[in-house]
């Protein structure tokens, strides 16, 4: 795919663009392998952090480059001059242009936490939960200019159950994705021409954008109980920040964020959003079809039991 035909490489030289837990897992995998890390490109660590990507990289003796600290043409030259064989992009959100993507000798590869081409873009784990998908995948693909384009190297599917959250799906993508990268690196070191390149079906492509949110981030109480609770679970990355924030609902003049909710089998024809009863530190609310139990909410960044704010007879909007 890169246009380079490379004979067997004794020690592979890798440039890692890494963020989040996935990037840290891949970095730790790389440091345990017989290869050279040309550099790790990551955002600065917070003061006092002992387990950040930057901290782990420096303790392993890896050079650390800042994301896009030079223009991309200069970065491409730097990659070529460093003799990088493989560029790995793991949860770094910078869009790379062709001058960078084509600079490594073998190629550039991206680990995407979703199936391609039908779930390109951002927050695929959250969208999978929200849409009620029963299958998901993590995909390793060749990089081309654009968002999650390029032929597929490997894809690993897995089943989703009705209790998944954005975090659990994301964690599974990391768990199953790291071995895909390890397999790629084995092939790159042994015979780069053997790396698979399965074209994506562009007719099935959908790209989820950074600012794309269900219902503009608000609960629509006229939706089904399944849709409402799936939205809450899709945004649940606790204890880590949610890329979607949390679904909001209006109570009088208050904007509450919903942290935990569950659907019941109780059918209701009461006006959607009406608070029916208080039950064991939960609040029963009518949705478009069934009763939803709200357990945890948040106001001004402070979590609380829903019944601390919401009373029987209130109407949520």
Is residue 1 assigned to a domain?
no
26 and 167, same structural domain?
A: yes
Question: In this predicted structure, what is the pLDDT of residue 16?
Answer: 96
Give the chain's domain count. 2
Is residue 150 assigned to a domain?
yes
Q: Where in the sequence is the domain holding 290, given as residue range(s)?
A: 218-308
Tell me which residues of the chain have a pLDDT lower than 50: 3, 5-7, 70
141 and 278, same structural domain?
A: no
170 and 95, same structural domain?
A: yes
The enclosing domain of 108 has a CATH number of: 3.40.50.170
52 and 200, same structural domain?
A: yes
Separation in Å, CA 145 to CA 70, 109, 150: 18, 12, 8
148 and 222, same structural domain?
A: no
Contact 202, 118 (CB under 8 A): no
Cα–Cα distance for residue pair 245/257, rounded to 1 Å? 8
154 and 56, same structural domain?
A: yes
167 and 131, same structural domain?
A: yes
186 and 55, same structural domain?
A: yes
Is residue 33 assigned to a domain?
yes
Is residue 31 assigned to a domain?
yes
Question: In this predicted structure, what is the pLDDT of residue 274?
Answer: 97
DSSP string, the chain: --S------SSEEEEEEE-HHHHHHHHHHHHTSSEEEEEEE-PPPPTT-SSSHHHHHHHTT--EE-TTSS-HHHHHHHHHHTT--EEEEES--PPP-HHHHT-SSSEEEEEESS-TTTTEES-HHHHHHHTT-SEEEEEEEE--SSSS-S-EEEEEEEE--TT--HHHHHHHHHHHHHHHHHHHHHHHHH-GGGS--BPP-GGG--EE-TT--GGGGB--TTS-HHHHHHHHHHT--TTSPPTT---EEEETTEEEEEEEEEEEEEE--SPTTBEEEEETTEEEEE-SSEEEEEEEEEETTEEEEGGGT--TT-B--
| Chain position carrying tokens 């990355």 | 237
Cα–Cα distance for residue pair 148/152, rounded to 1 Å? 10
Is residue 258 assigned to a domain?
yes
Is residue 184 assigned to a domain?
yes
201 and 168, same structural domain?
A: yes
* Residue that terminates a domain, selected from 155, 186, 208: 208
* Residue that terminates a domain, selected from 175, 208, 241: 208
Question: In this predicted structure, what is the pLDDT of residue 9?
Answer: 53
- Burial class, 174, CB count within 10 angstroms (exposed 0-12 / middle 13-18 / buried 19+): buried
pTM for the predicted model, two decimal places: 0.92
203 and 244, same structural domain?
A: no
Is residue 290 assigned to a domain?
yes
* Residue that terminates a domain, selected from 159, 189, 208: 208
234 and 197, same structural domain?
A: no
62 and 175, same structural domain?
A: yes
Residue 144 structure tokens: 């081309």
Cα–Cα distance for residue pair 53/55, rounded to 1 Å? 6
The enclosing domain of 270 has a CATH number of: 3.10.25.10
Question: In this predicted structure, what is the pLDDT of residue 3?
Answer: 47
Is residue 163 assigned to a domain?
yes
| Chain position carrying tokens 């679904």 | 247
Contact 184, 193 (CB under 8 A): no
């Amino acid at each position: 795919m890169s246009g380079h035909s490379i004979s067997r490489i004794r020690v592979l030289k890798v440039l890692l663009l890494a963020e989040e837990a996935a990037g840290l897992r891949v970095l730790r995998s790389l440091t345990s392998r017989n290869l050279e890390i040309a550099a790790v490109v990551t955002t600065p660590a917070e003061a006092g952090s002992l387990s950040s990507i930057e901290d782990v990289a420096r303790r392993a003796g890896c050079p650390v480059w800042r994301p896009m600290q030079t223009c991309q043409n200069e970065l491409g030259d730097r990659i070529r001059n460093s003799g990088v064989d493989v560029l790995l992009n793991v949860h770094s959100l910078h869009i790379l242009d062709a001058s960078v993507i084509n600079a490594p000798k073998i190629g550039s590869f991206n680990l995407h936490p979703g199936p391609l081409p039908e779930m390109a873009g951002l927050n695929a784990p959250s969208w999978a939960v929200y849409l009620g998908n029963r299958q998901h995948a993590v995909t390793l693909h060749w990089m081309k200019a654009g968002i999650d384009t390029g032929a597929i190297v490997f894809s690993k599917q897995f089943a989703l159950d009705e209790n998944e959250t954005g975090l659990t799906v994301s964690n599974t993508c990391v768990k199953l994705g790291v071995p895909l990268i390890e397999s790629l690196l084995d092939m790159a070191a042994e015979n780069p021409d053997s790396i698979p390149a399965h074209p994506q079906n562009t007719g099935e492509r959908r790209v989820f954008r950074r600012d794309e949110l269900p219902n503009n981030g608000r609960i629509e109480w006229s939706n089904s109980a399944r849709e409402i609770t799936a939205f809450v679970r899709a945004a649940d990355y606790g204890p880590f920040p949610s890329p979607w924030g949390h679904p909001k609902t209006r109570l009088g003049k208050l904007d509450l964020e919903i942290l935990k909710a569950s659907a019941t089998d109780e059918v209701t024809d009461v006006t959607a959003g009406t608070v029916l009863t208080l039950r064991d530190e939960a609040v029963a609310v009518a949705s478009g079809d069934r009763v939803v139990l709200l357990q945890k909410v948040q106001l001004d960044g402070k979590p609380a039991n829903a019944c601390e704010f919401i009373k029987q007879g209130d109407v949520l909007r």
